[in-house]
Structure 1
Amino acid sequence: MKRLVLIGPLLLALAVPASLPAPALAAETATTTCPVRADPALFASEARLLELAERQEDFGRRPTGSPAHEDYIGWLEDEIGAVPGVQLSSLPYEIDRWDDLGTGLTVAGQAVQVAAPVPFSSSTGPGGVTAPLVYLPASTAITAANAAGKIVVRDLPWATVPNLLFYPPLLGYHMHDPAHTINMLGSDSSEAPAGADADLKAAAAAGAAGVLEVSRLPHAQIEGMYAPYEGLPYEVPGAYLGVDQGERIKQALAAGQPVQAALTVDAAWTPTTTRTVLATLPGVSEQKIVVESHTDGMSPVWDNGPLTMLEMARYLASLPVSCRPRTVQFAFVTGHLYQHLTGPAVREGGAGQLAALLDAEYDQGKVSSVVVLEHLGARRYNAVARAGGLPGLELVPDPTLTELLWVPVSESTPLRELVKGHVQYRDVRRTAVLKGLSAADLGTVPHHCGFGGEGTPYNQHLLPTISPISAPKTLFSSAFGAEALDVAAMRRASLAFTDVVLGLGPMPQADVAGDVTFMRSQRASGTPGCV
């Protein structure tokens, strides 16, 4: 597989914004009154955000480097490039794109619906692979003794997280839930298709012929499932099945007779180029606030951050330059669905690549902070028992609630207070301002290594980071479109984080950084970072 040899100096040069011409600064007056918060009348309406989400949905599924992904990047580049004053550049990466050419399954000679292949599966070619089936429940390890030469049937795991984690003094800093919709002593659970990663690796080591991952949800709700997304090849083919298809297979196996299956995952690796687009809006200072989101995804919920970024850029560009004390750089990042973007050694995606560049610039005073936007306004879906005695669960939209928005903020009290204040002012309900999304380890810098998504590498590179993200149950399937968005909630969150960027502009860097400054000196002295 081809990998990009990153040309650091060239990419670093592309990432540094050009100096603002002196005449533009001279045209501003010292008497300009600058907003503390965005004027909602001058910001995108709900109708506008819905229009953008539906336009995004028109591109379809967007695996990294796919034609649909490149079309979406081009559209975003055209949109952001039309914003007055924006300067464009990009960071290219060469990858081998994984293409699904066709997936199918027959069991005992009967065709069975397949919801999706497991991305980056080994290709069987068009002829498929034929082998006996074996059902191995999650409590049973996949070994050569029970799986060699067989197609393993496996249940996808569900992850359960206690709500108490998101309150002080644990991971929480502040909870905004004025209607008290969250049971502090309760928990939430959702399917975890990332668990397929361990299954496929174990199956390959055991000499299995393939893996069938069975969901608790019906076919229609997991169609187009896309996870895991490491960007590394698995050594066995794998596919996802809905609960009905999985139950029929388990019942056939329960009869005790051998059941033959033919699994086809016809796939190809295609050399291509993908890119991160940087759109720089100059301010009084060249020191950057970087606003980031990824462009590859399966649905409008998964990667709607760029839509907020477009409207944030339009609003900020409408202000006098003197109202942008710092430059704002919008980073439309690739490689979220191809985490080993530059090879097998490092799991980072495009966010990790950009974080490394910003880390190198930070001590030169060129970078102030990073704001990462993911999954804003995700409607909450509840997993409930299916009607009519059907097996498994189905996702039903909650009529009033959005998904809990996690907002990890790096270790600065002024930064956390800034976020808390704007979340409360815009009433972004069901929001937890957090210290992190992993347990504290006082032996590393930072102490909380995980931020739950794209924000993680920026935090791990010791950059002041604000990283809102939610975990909707609809996330990994392209079966859900714009209807999985609460556009009113998305707009409130978009306004709140535009306010945050406005607040970051004049904030003293010492307040922005907080304990990050000391942690960077600890790192320089040999304190280990996150592994």
Structure 2
Amino acid sequence: MTTIRGDLEMPTGPARSVPGTRIADGSFVGPGVLDVWQRELDARGLRATGSDSHHDYIASLADRLAFVGVSDIRQEVLPLRRWTPQRVRLALHQEDGAVEVPVVSPVAYSGCTAPQGVTASLSAEPVTGRIGVADVPLPALQARVFDDLDWGGPEDIRHVADYDPATPYERVWLSQDVMREQLSRFAQAGAAGLVLVVDLPAEALHEGYLLYDGVHRGLPAVFVSREQGEHLRAAAARGQVATLVLEAHAEHVETSNVLGLIPGASDELVVLHSHTDGTNGLEDNGPEAILAMAQYLARVPRQELPRGVLILLTTGHFATHTAWGLEDFLDRHRDDLVPKIAAALCLEHLGALPWSLDRQEGVPASEYEFGCVFASPHQAVIDTVRRGLDRAGVTESRVLRPFVPDTTGRSPDGTTWPGDGSAFWHNAGLPSANFITGPGYLLNAEPVIDLIDVAAMRRQAIAFTETVIDLCAAPWADLHARREAQQ
């Protein structure tokens, strides 16, 4: 499926690089081109790390980066022990035969069974030799939690119309620590398998790709929806017998980061980053936006761009608990490229519309999916990306501080954030920012093109191109000046 759409018309001629000014609409890749790119990405479906579909997308991106004018393109190979499911089945045994239980998906990297599967009694508690049934609740967060994390405070945020700080923020990806805990409990007890019941209806969980930390646990496990969970909990209380089949295989493969350069007037760099593996056309469409941004930036005369722009599209997001591909880049280039980095900008999940069960009945969304930028404690970066959010006018203008405890032991202040660009801060201490949204359908391996507003994605891409231009012009000392973290 590797294609270069040479028939798509794109702007030509020199582009402007004037800090603090807006990019002319006609000088940026048009909405028709972005729509084609976005639809082609969505049609690819699941791009699990190291899979054939992922390899093909990486090759396509390398070709297309060259097509839009990026130079010095190369791929840097990383090894991966990849886990691939082949057949999944769950059945309850009754006097008149087995009854099939609908499964949302296997738990990625969980384990495998023989072709005949494992047959054992169900149990709500970890018991050796039994198939466990465990709940995965969704955390009951509200929007005000994120306002409180803003570097400036709630008064500095431009909110969307009709904003309510009490709006619930319940997302299945926020429950991944609970999933890990349940898997660990049942694996340590010697369970024969595990069924994780997610507290969402089946309509919200189409082929959910969870848990994506790449840990080979050796415990075959599957996800089911809340409807199936009710039946399975009752069956476990009776000690009913079930059969779980999860055929899968693990193999050693190679996957790659993609690097390219838009030269500037100096050797200093601003990094423009996203990841290439994903579940659907939103996760992650950052590379598509970056292609459009690169097409503009590559037309800026070199002497007018104070710093070069390093395009970095990394692998490993869906096979690690950390930003594995980015961490490899930072370790591999700690003595050459990293010292030249003035700032970095990561883009994830642009143009996202919210999803609810009402949308299935054709009720249009009234606002965009909740979004924000996480930023390192560098005031020049915080101010620059907030202006970018204001210019885009799509999501709120939240710029949040890192708040997740860092487990790498490298973070300058012991914190990081939940985004693929977090390693710029927690691994290398670099001035950096990470735009991200996290709708409930983010990890569903299904078409989501009707939940992506390409016009909004384009507005974001234009605004973030202006952000890159501002970062290229900002003095190095200003970008690297640290502020105190808020408590």
Once residues 149 and 286 of structure 2 are traced to their aligned partners in structure 1, the CA distance between those partners, rounded to angstroms, is 29
Change (3 A) 1:59 1:37: same
Distance 1:152 1:168 in 2: 38
Q: Aligned pair count?
A: 461
Deviation at 1:350, TM superposition (A): 0.4
How far does the alpha carbon of each residue in 1:441-484 deviate from its partner, in whole angstroms, 9 at most, with x for none?
Answer: xx995336122211211111201101111111111111342122
In the alignment, structure 1 residue 239 sits paired with structure 2 residue 222: yes
How many percent identity over aligned positions? 28
Quick one: distance in 2 between partners of 1:170 and 1:432? 6
Q: Give the 3-state SS of the residue equivalent to 2:144 in structure 1.
A: helix
Inter-partner Cα distance in structure 2 for 1:510 and 1:397: 50
Residues 156 and 215 in structure 1, CA contact (< 8 A), matched pair in contact too = yes
Superposed counterparts of 1:225-264, under 5 Å: 225-253=208-236, 257-264=238-245
Q: Counterparts of 1:437 and 1:499 in 2: how far apart (Å)? A: 27
Following superposition of structure 1 onto structure 2, how do residues 151-170 of structure 1 map, counting pairs within 5 Å?
A: 151-167=131-147
CA distance in 2, matches of 1:480, 1:172: 37
Q: How does 1:364-383 map to 2 (within 5 A)?
A: 364=339, 366-382=340-356
Q: Cα gap change, 1:450/1:250 in structure 2, threshold over 3 Å: closer, same or farther?
A: same
Contact 1:176–1:429 (8 Å) recurs in 2? no
Taking only aligned residues, the RMSD between alpha carbons, in angstroms, comes to: 2.8
For 2:167 and 2:204, locate their aligned partners in 1 and report how far apart those are by CA, in whole Å.
26
- Are the structure 2 counterparts of residues 360 and 382 from structure 1 closer, same or farther at C-alpha, using a change threshold of 3 Å? farther
The equivalent residue for 2:100 is 111
Out of 107, 110, 114, the residue aligned to residue 125 of structure 1 is 114
Question: Which residue of the other structure, out of 401, 415, 425, is the alignment partner of 1:435?
Answer: 401
Q: Name which of 129, 145, 148 aligns with 1:149.
A: 129
* Structure 1 gaps, min length 5: 1-28, 136-141, 341-346, 387-393, 520-531
Q: Distance in 2 between matches of 1:300 and 1:172?
A: 33
| TM-score normalised over the length of structure 1 | 0.80
Map 1:231-310 to 2 at 5 A: 231-253=214-236, 257-310=238-291
Say if 1:449 and 1:456, in contact at 8 Å, map to a contact too: no
Deviations 1:68-121 (A, max 9, x none): 000111111111121225211121011121111111111111122212110112
Structure 1 pair 404/396, CA: closer, same or farther in 2 (3 Å)? farther
CA shift at 1:319, angstroms?
1.7
Kept after mapping to 2: 8 A contact 1:151/1:208:
yes
Deviations 1:139-178 (A, max 9, x none): xxx54xxx22211112222023232233357655565445
For 1:495-514, list aligned pairs within 5 A: 495-514=462-481
The C-alpha deviation readout for 1:395-417, integer Å capped at 9, x for no partner, is 99761211221201212222211
Superposed, which structure 2 residues align to 1:394-405 within 5 Å? 399-405=365-371
State which of 45, 70, 79 in structure 2 corresponds to 1:60: 45
CA contact 1:407–1:433 (8 Å) conserved in 2:
yes
Counterparts of residues 92-111 of structure 1 (less than 5 Å): 92-108=77-93, 109-111=98-100
Q: 1:355 aligns with which of 321, 324, 330?
A: 330
1:45 aligns with 2:11: no
Query: Among residues 221, 224, 229, which one is paired with 2:207 in the alignment?
Result: 224
The equivalences for 1:399-478 within 5 A come to 399-438=365-404, 446-447=412-413, 449-460=415-426, 461-478=428-445
What is the TM-score of this pair, normalised by structure 2? 0.87
CA distance in 2, matches of 1:311, 1:362: 24
Moved more, 417-426 or 293-302: 417-426
Contact 2:330–2:338 (8 Å) recurs in 1: no
Mean alpha-carbon deviation: is it higher for 424-433 or for 245-254? Answer: 245-254
Shift of 1:125: 2.2
Pairwise CA distance, 1:238: 0.3
Contact 1:381 1:397 in 2 (8 A): no
Match of residue 81 from structure 1? 66
Call closer, same or farther: CA 1:274–1:33 in 2, change over 3 Å: closer
**1:133 maps to amino acid:** L
Q: What SS does structure 1 have at the residue aligned with 2:37?
A: helix
Using the TM superposition, give the Cα deviation of residue 259 of structure 1 relative to its aligned residue in structure 2, in angstroms.
1.0
1:324 counterpart (302, 305, 329): 305
CA distance in 2, matches of 1:153, 1:439: 30
SS of the residue corresponding to residue 477 of structure 1 reads coil
